[in-house]
Structure 1
């Protein structure tokens, strides 16, 4: 599962919004709703009070953040362990782009999380440059990005040498042998040991509930009674957990491309389900390429396009493209087609050019960028730390082998790659937590807006339906027949719903639908922006 980048924008059909009640007023600083209890409650209160008193000292951003001079940066202190609020702390980095519009229409700060686990939102102040929804929202909201605990400069977690993590070429066996499986188990065990060595005392505190508690401390540091939050992909799970722990602190909550929060889905089953959903999106891409065989010459049927891809896969294992792209890097790159339709044309062109003896475009999209090794390894480390700690994982390899063999029979494209990415959880050195039972009662929350696409690969649509059932007062807007992961800022109909909700607190009341965006046009050569969302096997 992968972290977010800046989304792209394309048009679609608009729907009329129905009225819903305005958002309820939120509780004062540091106050927790009566439904929340547990050993961390006092620690959250203390940390929120301290954050409200300290505020955030906004300054010019460090050069490392690569933000414009108009952006501001600061830090917020959070306890490593909320049961020991006077103990060790982490400083979370925070960024801000001030609201640009009429002060009379100012709505406050809008906090953003792009997904992951391991995603970094420090670049959120850049989003208004895209125009459209983001520019309009920034007119009324301060855009607040942040790096969650362990991410970026927020006391970064690292489990192995970054260059060793990213270096290619690597082989991805379609039908792994017993020897391959044993080798991958040894590698996973070594990785888990590396994480435990790096953070022996903190490792058990990288959890989604702690990310939600950190979010409430950030709310207090911003001086807000109620939180305005927009989460994409894994960010929706943080938002769902936040709504459960702090329903009285929610002002506006937008969840985009939604993780299934059912306790028995987090996280082992979620990854198996994700493999099947990505396979469906892979079929969508192959079908689209086949429809444009006159442009790409990769086959007139999805099966023929798969054969072309398999031929390239075998070729890069015989002779790695650019010396760094093997089958693992190839599969990881083309998983992007499951995230965003914007990748379809340039990735088809890259595959087509390689078949014609021009490897440059394929190398451009698939080669490891060693300049990003530190960032990629950090994101992967936090991904494993959170997912392995959030919920129990099977500790016996036969269970993994059986479940992934069954899944690979119907979803061969990414199943084994995803299994190897998650396998450190079978060897994790701390005792995993019990997932929070996400749910709210009628009247606990103000209206909440859920948005999702029916063919999403990274967060299957069932997650949106389950979240709507669990968060009383939520409304779901569906992009029907579409599969882009992260629907905000790209569909005018969706954007209209989001804008109305964030500006006026109104949802459709009942569920609503938007038409899918037009299919991409063939022939594009430029490399698109990466898709936002959950981390998938890389």
Structure 2
């Protein structure tokens, strides 16, 4: 699968030529008012604690998972002003050694988890303790998840009527016309306006710095003098902000699939880098399909598979499958294959079946779940607000058009879809922040663990290297020649062993260590299992579902 590396390298070279235009007003770095407000909020939370009880029925959590709320200031510069409540879930440590039923495992406090996004909820995280790979952690730690500010039950943010969120079928052209670009510009302006109108003056307070401050308040409310935290994808970014702001409060931290924290990359250039990396992973997938032409019949080379994919796009543009699936829905379904290689068999089977006249597997795979519209709209609103608020963005459409047109020449698969996803930031109506220059000096921060797959497209590997450089004393574990997004407690026993050793015993490997990649998935014939759709919690674009 070396051909894919050529695409990634080409994208990386191109990115070096892309420039960031002036982006209007940028806020100052966090100041004394926010620091004081955080101290006040932490003291209150420590005194109040969290009154855990039954979880809200609409969360669908079993009885052993308990829920409570913690109050945080909407604006940390005004700690006595409006408060918002974050919903928190917890499963107590079992203290049961999964390998020795007679041994009682001593507790190590709370392990707080964030799955990324921005906009993803961690409320279901405590359920992970029943999975074999997690049982040792579940024995030693209280597993704690929460819905960050703006997400779900935690002062939910909305930018449009959820009934209007899923629109399909949609086109999503790889090389958009000028008319289509104008349509998407209008959509982005309307979306940005909707965020401002629905959230009002509160909109500016949904950002990564406040997510980091909220995490310290949660730590105090849980009664923890120091934080043990695992963040995935976007969770690594505000986790790094936490390490920068509160290094003295850190016990252990795992950064799984690290975002590049360089202030110059947040967020416009990170998204361009992501689009370049997805081209390589898209090629990996097509090469895998070609290796299994005897199963799927989609071609014996990556180019032949691509031609069949484009054939399906053209056919869906003329006649949507099931009246619901157009090129946009097809692209969104296959984008998931760039995140998780265990999705490769279902995508290949659905494409093969569709081209042979059976659209049912594709419809089952790609059709919007209308029942999830409110949740998806909320997730997308938080994603947009956080990324738009966090940093300056180009406000001149000509910059977006130039940069994405150039990038699409070598990385067409995700480039324009990603641009449309983020374009509301060009027309954002809330003040922007100046990104923090995340870094810690020797001895300031306890050793931390960074995990990265070498070919991860959602958070390209350079981000893990940059995080490693910036967090003194950190250790980087690389899964070689693999590209799954989020590798802790996945199929790689080597990676899992390093995480166990660190979280359970405080042991770390050498400053940089590597694990051989996990095996690629085995092909599945149409009769082997039903098509599996990703749940909203599997998405992380940083990772929301693409808007139509």
Under a length normalisation based on structure 2, what TM-score does the superposition of the two structures give?
A: 0.90
Match of 2:83 in 1: 89
Match of 1:62 in 2: 56
Preserved contact between residue 89 and residue 123 of structure 2 (Cα < 8 Å): yes
Q: Within 2, Cα distance between the matches of 1:177 and 1:384?
A: 25
What pairs with 1:161-172 in structure 2 (closer than 5 Å)? 161-172=161-172
Match of 1:110 in 2: 111
Q: Within 2, Cα distance between the matches of 1:348 and 1:312?
A: 12
Q: Within 1, Cα distance between the matches of 2:105 and 2:416?
A: 54
Preserved contact between residue 333 and residue 365 of structure 1 (Cα < 8 Å): yes
Deviation at residue 165 of structure 1 after TM alignment: 1.2
Structure 1 residues 495-537: Cα deviation after superposition (integer angstroms, max 9, x where no partner) = 1000000011121142110010011100154444734532156
Match of 1:495 in 2: 496
Preserved contact between residue 48 and residue 221 of structure 1 (Cα < 8 Å): yes
Deviation at residue 294 of structure 1 after TM alignment: 0.4
Match of 1:99 in 2: 93
Match of 1:463 in 2: 463
Do structure 1's residue 375 and structure 2's residue 375 form an aligned pair?
yes
Which structure has the higher relative contact order (CA within 8 Å, separation 6+)?
A: 1
Tell me the SS of whatever aligns to 1:139. Answer: helix
Aligned residues: 503
Deviation at residue 173 of structure 1 after TM alignment: 1.3
Match of 1:291 in 2: 291
Match of 1:236 in 2: 236
What pairs with 1:202-351 in structure 2 (closer than 5 Å)? 202-351=202-351
Match of 1:23 in 2: none
Match of 2:177 in 1: 177
Match of 1:513 in 2: 514
Preserved contact between residue 407 and residue 415 of structure 1 (Cα < 8 Å): yes
Q: Within 2, Cα distance between the matches of 1:489 and 1:445?
A: 25
Q: Within 2, Cα distance between the matches of 1:57 and 1:249?
A: 23
Structure 1 residues 186-229: Cα deviation after superposition (integer angstroms, max 9, x where no partner) = 11000000000011111111110100000000000000000010
Tell me the SS of whatever aligns to 1:39. Answer: helix
Do structure 1's residue 387 and structure 2's residue 387 form an aligned pair?
yes
Do structure 1's residue 80 and structure 2's residue 74 form an aligned pair?
yes
Q: Within 2, Cα distance between the matches of 1:510 and 1:388?
A: 34
Structure 1: gaps (5+ residues): 1-35
Match of 1:139 in 2: 139
Deviation at residue 106 of structure 1 after TM alignment: 0.5
Preserved contact between residue 228 and residue 252 of structure 2 (Cα < 8 Å): yes
Structure 2: gaps (5+ residues): 1-29, 97-103
Q: Within 2, Cα distance between the matches of 1:372 and 1:130?
A: 25
Preserved contact between residue 114 and residue 532 of structure 1 (Cα < 8 Å): no
Pick from 530, 540, 543 the counterpart of residue 535 of structure 1. 543
Structure 1 residues 112-145: Cα deviation after superposition (integer angstroms, max 9, x where no partner) = 000100010001011123221x122111001100
Structure 1 residues 233-282: Cα deviation after superposition (integer angstroms, max 9, x where no partner) = 00000110000000000001000000000000000000000001111000
Tell me the SS of whatever aligns to 2:489. Answer: coil
Deviation at residue 364 of structure 1 after TM alignment: 1.1
Deviation at residue 108 of structure 1 after TM alignment: 0.6
Compared CA separation, residues 529 and 245, structure 1 to 2 (3 A): farther
C-alpha RMSD of the superposition: 1.3
Compared CA separation, residues 532 and 250, structure 1 to 2 (3 A): farther
Match of 1:3 in 2: none
Deviation at residue 69 of structure 1 after TM alignment: 1.2
Q: Within 1, Cα distance between the matches of 2:533 and 2:373?
A: 18
Compared CA separation, residues 536 and 382, structure 1 to 2 (3 A): closer
Q: Within 2, Cα distance between the matches of 1:232 and 1:448?
A: 14
Tell me the SS of whatever aligns to 1:117. Answer: coil
Tell me the SS of whatever aligns to 1:157. Answer: coil
Q: Within 2, Cα distance between the matches of 1:169 and 1:528?
A: 21
Under a length normalisation based on structure 1, what TM-score does the superposition of the two structures give?
A: 0.92
Match of 2:45 in 1: 51
Compared CA separation, residues 281 and 525, structure 1 to 2 (3 A): farther
Deviation at residue 319 of structure 1 after TM alignment: 1.2
Match of 2:408 in 1: 408
Deviation at residue 37 of structure 1 after TM alignment: 5.6
Q: Within 2, Cα distance between the matches of 1:278 and 1:174?
A: 14
Deviation at residue 401 of structure 1 after TM alignment: 0.0
Deviation at residue 177 of structure 1 after TM alignment: 1.0
Deviation at residue 105 of structure 1 after TM alignment: 1.5
Tell me the SS of whatever aligns to 2:478. Answer: strand
Match of 1:121 in 2: 122
Preserved contact between residue 391 and residue 434 of structure 2 (Cα < 8 Å): yes
Q: Within 1, Cα distance between the matches of 2:510 and 2:443?
A: 14
Q: Within 2, Cα distance between the matches of 1:140 and 1:536?
A: 32
Structure 1 residues 341-368: Cα deviation after superposition (integer angstroms, max 9, x where no partner) = 1000111011111111111111111000
Deviation at residue 90 of structure 1 after TM alignment: 0.7
Q: Within 1, Cα distance between the matches of 2:320 and 2:129?
A: 39
Q: Within 1, Cα distance between the matches of 2:65 and 2:544?
A: 30
Match of 2:22 in 1: none
Deviation at residue 39 of structure 1 after TM alignment: 2.3
Compared CA separation, residues 532 and 452, structure 1 to 2 (3 A): farther
Pick from 40, 44, 47 the counterpart of residue 34 of structure 2. 40
Q: Within 2, Cα distance between the matches of 1:173 and 1:522?
A: 29
